[in-house]
Amino acid sequence: MSYSSVDTLWILMAAVLVFFMQPGFAMLEAGLTRGKNAGNIVMKNFMNFSLGTLAFWIVGFSLLFGRDIGGFIGMPDFFAQHMDLMAGTPYPDLAFLLFQTVLCAVTAAIVSGAMAERTKFSSSCLITILISLLIYPIVGHWSWGGGWLAALGFHDFAGASVVSLTGGICALTGAKALGPRIGKYNDDGSVNAIPGHSLPLACLGMFILWFGWFGFNGGQTLSLTGEQTILKAASIFFTTNIAAAAGTTTAMVTTWIRYGKPDVSMTLDGSLAALVAITAGCDVVSVPGAFVIGALAGIVTVFLIEFIDQKLRIDDPVGAIAAHGGCGALGTLLTGLFSVQDGLFYTGEIRLFLVQLAGVVAMALFVFVAMTLVFRILQATIGLRVSAAEEINGLDFKENGLVPAYELDRSDDLEDLSQALKAGEAPEGVQEIPLDQAIPDSVMASPQPVGGHALYNVTIITDEKRFETLKDAMEAIGITGMTITRALGFGIEKGRTEFYRGAKVSAKLLPKVRVEMVVSKVSPRTIIETAKKVLYTGNYGDGKVFVSAIDNAVKIRTGEEGCDALQDYPVVQKK
């Protein structure tokens, strides 16, 4: 038969755009989690797409689009050998298969984010295969493959329920089965924020997802031929963009009002939630309707993330359950209200809304029950979760044999270690030693002046932003040698409350700078008064000064000791 080059190119370009969403999911997930798991996360997302592609090709595609069996599932056809359902279409069968494959891969990517930082790599791979092989195709058949929901008139144009709700319920079930990350919740019921390591990376991922969503929604027209189809595609692109912009804005404003400052990560989730919500009815809602749907999704996702995190106590590092599961359901239901063809607000008929409600409930129940069974089987066999030691050290090292992607800042490990020890779980390599052996008794001798001058070590710990001012002041009083190291101050800055994703950030590990100097001729009192003068603001965090006497100082280059070792002389080069 004759194929349309325009329609074929349209589908292939849409498939490429949706494929490009995979690095978007990877960057968003990696940015909103800790650096010690970054390598594991990108590897997991890479394999999600690869394994999902194979599973969907083997049998998943036929279960979705094969000849209907009782309105529940399609006729199995291994390796998509008999794609007779595509007969008469103006595009090749394989173009359609590719587009449907990349849509399927999105579902598994959703689950990955909610189960991040504590899932075994082997279990993650099996979960992807099962979702792509059975769960997603069965749900998709109900709506897109001629199943029972399609017969009722259920409307999900691009996958708010088929893709996002399915992925969100899988994520909910998985996160619940796994349990929270170490250190997420306290015994008193309070919640600890675990900030991601790179908001710029997460923002890049969200921009990629926004970009790819034009193909996700627009490609579902499967054609770009004819005036009406062209107008429809343009409308889909515009409603998609308007909804995303509205959701981003309302999420930002909501967090600004609730937390006193706009929350970056929640704002990103607002964008994602709005894109998910508009997906169901992007072809049948007006521009004002798209604005309302996106705006509501942005607000709802903020409160839903808080509810899941703080009330249900389900640890979802990226907000996938709220953005995909919650707002996938929301968008599907709102289509029953805002559809200009059959929506309640336009026709006064409630039938479409009730059909949408039935579809959402049925999909959620089926996926929840099926995935609960899957996770219980995995827990009883190969296990779902890594050990406490593996989680603390980071999955990059333990699961994938990688040097952690970011070596400089491992402060989050200290928090994890503290929580693990409270729970009685000693990390790998830690041995209990009796106190009298661990800290032997010793008596320090009183320091004696060397060369007629007493030596003192002066250590100043303060906010790293004030280092330059302190350095200039020390040089002005004759201090020419200083040792500077970055440090983490353990404590709480009173009067300062920060929020991350709705949870209070307990400011226990604060970035500091440690300035050490050994002096003799310059009085420690002079250093103290100078430091107080340049560092004092009257606020918490101005810093502290520690002074201690030391026995001796030796300059390696010259062999000088005591006060002489502290003096700076020009180095005379030997001829």
Dist CA 83 CA 158 (whole Å): 21
In the DSSP assignment, the letter for residue 404 is P
Angle between helices 166-178 and 327-338 (to 10 degrees): 150
Six-digit token pair at 452?
């007629």
Dist CA 470 CA 517 (whole Å): 12
Query: Longest Cα pair distance anywhere in the chain, in angstroms?
Result: 103
The DSSP element (H or E) to which 209 belongs, if any, is helix 199-218
Under 8 Å between Cβ of 251 and 306? no
The pLDDT of residue 490: 61
| Closest CA relative to residue 27, chosen from 210, 280, 241 | 210
The pLDDT of residue 85: 59
The pLDDT of residue 513: 86
Instruction: Give the distance from CA 566 to its chain's centroid.
Output: 50
Under 8 Å between Cβ of 287 and 281? no
Under 8 Å between Cβ of 31 and 196? yes
Angle between helices 227-259 and 264-279 (to 10 degrees): 150
Q: What pLDDT, in 10s, does the model give residues 208-249?
A: 999 999 999 999 999 999 999 999 999 999 999 999 999 999
The pLDDT of residue 425: 52
The neighbour count for residue 572, using CB atoms within 10 Å, is: 6
Six-digit token pair at 194?
């675990």
Q: Residues 6 or more apart from 307 whose CB is under 8 A from it?
A: none
Dist CA 137 CA 140 (whole Å): 5
Sort strands 498-500 and 73-74 into parallel, antiparallel or unpaired: unpaired
Dist CA 184 CA 421 (whole Å): 14
Sort strands 68-69 and 73-74 into parallel, antiparallel or unpaired: antiparallel
| Closest CA relative to residue 275, chosen from 237, 314, 226 | 237
Helix (H/G/I), strand (E/B), else coil: 74? strand
Dist CA 458 CA 484 (whole Å): 12
Helix (H/G/I), strand (E/B), else coil: 25? helix
Residue 570 exposed, middle or buried by CB count within 10 Å (0-12, 13-18, 19+)? exposed
Under 8 Å between Cβ of 104 and 56? yes
Q: Which domains does the chain have, with CATH numbers?
A: 5-395 (1.10.3430.10), 455-566 (3.30.70.120)
The pLDDT of residue 412: 56
Mean pLDDT, each 10-residue run in order, the chain (575 residues): 91 98 97 93 96 97 94 93 73 94 96 96 97 98 96 97 98 97 90 92 98 98 95 98 98 96 96 98 98 98 97 96 98 98 96 98 98 97 94 84 58 53 49 47 47 81 86 88 80 60 66 87 90 85 87 82 72 49
Token pair 């239901």 is found at 333
Claim: this prediction has a pTM higher than 0.85: no
| Closest CA relative to residue 247, chosen from 264, 271, 217, 263 | 271
Six-digit token pair at 412?
């989050």
Under 8 Å between Cβ of 540 and 551? no
Dist CA 288 CA 274 (whole Å): 14
